[in-house]
Amino acid sequence: MSNLHSPGRSDLAHARHVEVALIDYLRAQSARHEALVIAAVGELRIRIDAADALLEYADESQSAAIAFRLAAAEAVRLAGDVYFELAGRSLPRPLPHSAEPALPTQRRLLGDHYLNGAALADEQEGRLAAG
């Protein structure tokens, strides 16, 4: 399943890159002592750490893989937003290497799985093989 994680890994790597660039930028700014700036950097670190923790479980099931993918997408989205808000510009983001289902589709699949017990593709295949 690790090839399926490449878009998430790419997003997570870019979020880390943006975080480093943001911290480097802020170290030269007096705003680095402001509570809202510190909180924004802290929230970004939390999102990156959460995606990183979910990556450890991404090979266990499709639901774990989707959770990682969504967390990585959220980390990179937040990184871009915070960098733009605090530095006043954007950093270029690499294009995805492979096509994947749209994030809203992945979010819906995961929600349907947890809310309604809908089987995900890998779980359906496992049931058919055992059946």
In this predicted structure, what is the pLDDT of residue 3? Answer: 54
pTM above 0.85, yes or no: no
Q: What is the arithmetic mean of pLDDT over 106-131?
A: 72
pLDDT in tens, 66-106: 999 999 999 999 999 999 999 999 999 877 666 677 888 89
Query: 62-87 and 121-130 helices cross at what angle (nearest 10)?
Result: 170
Tell me the C-alpha distance between 112 and 107, whole Å.
9
pLDDT in tens, 1-18: 445 578 899 999 999 999
Q: Do residues 76 and 18 touch, judged by C-beta distance below 8 A?
A: yes
pLDDT in tens, 56-66: 999 999 999 99
Tell me the C-alpha distance between 103 and 73, whole Å.
8
Confidence of residue 124 (pLDDT cuts 50, 70, 90): very low
Tell me the C-alpha distance between 34 and 2, whole Å.
40
